[in-house]
Chain A
Amino acid sequence: MPTITYCHPNGSRDVVDVVPGTTVMRGAVMNGIDGIVGECGGQAMCATCHVYVHSEFLDELPEPNDDEEEMLEETAAPRDEERSRLGCQLKMGSRIPAIVVDVPETQVAS
């Protein structure tokens, strides 16, 4: 089973196993991982599933499409040009059997 590791700003970690096809956003929402909201249900509409992917996994990820690019400009926490992605666009499977992401301080602009 693919494994997603969520690293929190306070240093704690959550590790969850998911069925193939599960996105990083869905894995978090299903498992109650704090700090990932997924308000739009995974349509790249709300930028509340922003994560920073650990560098060693970046090569395996497909490039963000235009919509994701635009939403990444709108994240509540600062965008990291290299590592910022929307969790709803990162689908786990044979190509990405494991991933480690940092969860940002906030998902919701105040």
Chain B
Amino acid sequence: MSGAGSGGAGRGAAAGVVILGGGQAGIQLADSLRAEGYPGAIDVFASETHLPYQRPPLSKDFIAEGADASALPLRADRFFSELDVTFHPGVTVSSLDRSARTVTTDTGEVFAYDVLVFATGARNRRLSIEGADLAGVHYLRTLDDAQELREELASARSALVVGGGFIGLEFAAGAAARGLDVTVLEQGERIMGRVLTPPMSSHFAGLHGAERIDIRLGEGIVALQGGGGPGGGRVTAGVGAGGEVYPADIVVVGIGVLPNAELADAAGLTVTNGIVVDAFLRTSDPSIYAIGDCCSYPNAHTGTMTRLESVQNAVDQAKVLAKTLTGTPIEYVELPWFWSQQGANKLQIAGMVDVAATTFTRGDPASGKFSVFCFRGDTLLGVESVNSTADHLAARRILGNRLPLTPAQAVDPAFDLKAYSRAAVAAA
């Protein structure tokens, strides 16, 4: 089944589900639709030409010295034929006609849909300063990005990282482990300041400092300097807001992402920090849904509209949507959780911490293994754990099941979190 419409006529009765995006959300949806018994046509459009791959290792294992140069696939290559899913690599859908229920690709082909799903993900925010286009300036999101960076890492001796978020620091840790001198410029007052509580943020600042990663807080970047040559040549340094020059062979920019929501916006769907969906992941058009990094959904745990960039969210939203599309509508209420691997340190977050809320620490940060419990009043909002998977897993059960927990219990080393969370879940 090619699924391609002839003469722009679409496919009429065999329209099926059209999925825009071949990342974790889109591929999981195709998989889960078949697992749930969906019998119709499924077409997946991916802007990249690679077979779908896992993104998280790209900023971690993939850039390590001597690491396997092949990306970890999301599924084996026979996935599409076995599940009778039509994969369209390197094809971008450029317009959407909601009244005709068709999409048109950048090559002019027209596809009809019964259900359209945006799993379009997000793209990197880009620097727009002088020198931003110099060779040696990298972003890290796609496999192509990671491969280019990996090649240059082999000969680079110093790296400048713009942005002290997860991606920037994961890369910084990997580059430092390879022996590069690494400087991180973070505009805010602390690293990972949007996503971590102050105690966890400062713990990681200490860890990275000990690995000779030079973290400059409150420092923006105003220009990148090149070594001359056609088009400015290769990057040689970054210039901070205060005029300080940071020499570097490579620059990695990690300053956040933008949801890929332009097509939805142009088609008149509601877009506010992502494609807005309801608890069933449905957009303002009942035939159109959105999942993963591109969507803004009502978060059952915070009561606010939320757009998340995480594997867990992408996969779980896809699984829930597959049930809805096969006749068992269910709301998305999964507990968000995240992880980041920075050098030897594993950071895991359960729930949604509020960086302004009250924090309680369990365990001794000096041991390198502890958790921060984030409360608003008596309500536990989220838990950050470093090298403490047991705490993290207990926290997921406690938060996911809304079990009561007091700050006193959280910090008491004699209080067995794991046993408590298991017993309470079993009793529920």
Contact = CB atoms under 8 A, between A and B. Distances in A.
Are these two chains actual partners, yes or no?
yes
Interface of A: 19, 21-22, 26, 29-33, 38-45, 66-67, 70-71, 73-74
Nearest to A21: B68
B315 A39 contact: yes
Contacts of A74: 393
Contact of B72 (A32, A41, A66, A67): A41
Contact of A43 (B68, B79, B339, B393): B339
Contacts of B75: 29, 32
Nearest to A68: B389
A39 B68 contact: no
B311 A43 contact: no
B76 interface: yes
B405 to A, nearest CB: 19
B311 A39 contact: yes
Interface in B25-78: 54-57, 60-61, 68, 70, 72-73, 75-78
Contact of B73 (A21, A30, A42, A66): A30
Contacts of A26: 68, 72
B72 A42 contact: yes
A66 B389 contact: yes
B76 A67 contact: no
Contacts of A41: 54-57, 61, 72, 311
A43 B346 contact: yes
A43 to B, nearest CB: 6
Contacts of B72: 26, 29-30, 38, 41-42
Contact of A29 (B60, B76, B78, B346): B76
Contacts of A66: 389-390
A40 B390 contact: no
B187 to A, nearest CB: 28
Given A32-B76, A39-B311, A70 B393 contact: yes
Interface of B: 54-57, 60-61, 68, 70, 72-73, 75-79, 82, 311, 315, 339, 341, 346, 348, 387, 389-390, 393
A42 B389 contact: no
A interface majority secondary structure? loop
Nearest to B57: A41
A64 B70 CA distance: 26
Given A43-B341, A74-B393, A29 B73 contact: yes
The 9 A-B pairs at the shortest CB distance, nearest first, are namely: A32-B76, A70-B389, A41-B54, A41-B56, A41-B57, A70-B390, A67-B389, A45-B339, A32-B78
Which of B55, B75, B389, B390 has the most chain A CB within a 10 Å cutoff?
Answer: B389
Contacts of B390: 66, 70
A38 B82 CA distance: 19
Nearest to A28: B76
Contacts of A67: 346, 387, 389
Contacts of A30: 70, 72-73, 76
Contacts of B76: 29-33
Contacts of B70: 30
Given A29-B76, A40-B311, A70-B390, 19 more contacts: A29-B75, A30-B70, A30-B72, A31-B76, A32-B75, A32-B76, A32-B78, A32-B82, A38-B54, A39-B315, A41-B311, A42-B61, A43-B341, A43-B346, A66-B389, A66-B390, A67-B389, A71-B389, A74-B393
8 contacts: A29-B76, A30-B72, A30-B76, A41-B61, A41-B311, A43-B56, A45-B339, A66-B390
Given A30-B76, A32-B75, A40 B393 contact: no
Contacts of A39: 311, 315
B78 A42 contact: no
A1 to B, nearest CB: 14
A34 to B, nearest CB: 10
Contacts of A71: 389, 393
Contacts of B78: 32
B390 to A, nearest CB: 5
Nearest to B341: A43
A33 B60 CA distance: 24
A38 to B, nearest CB: 7
Contacts of B393: 70-71, 73-74
B57 A42 contact: yes
A27 to B, nearest CB: 11
Contacts of A19: 68
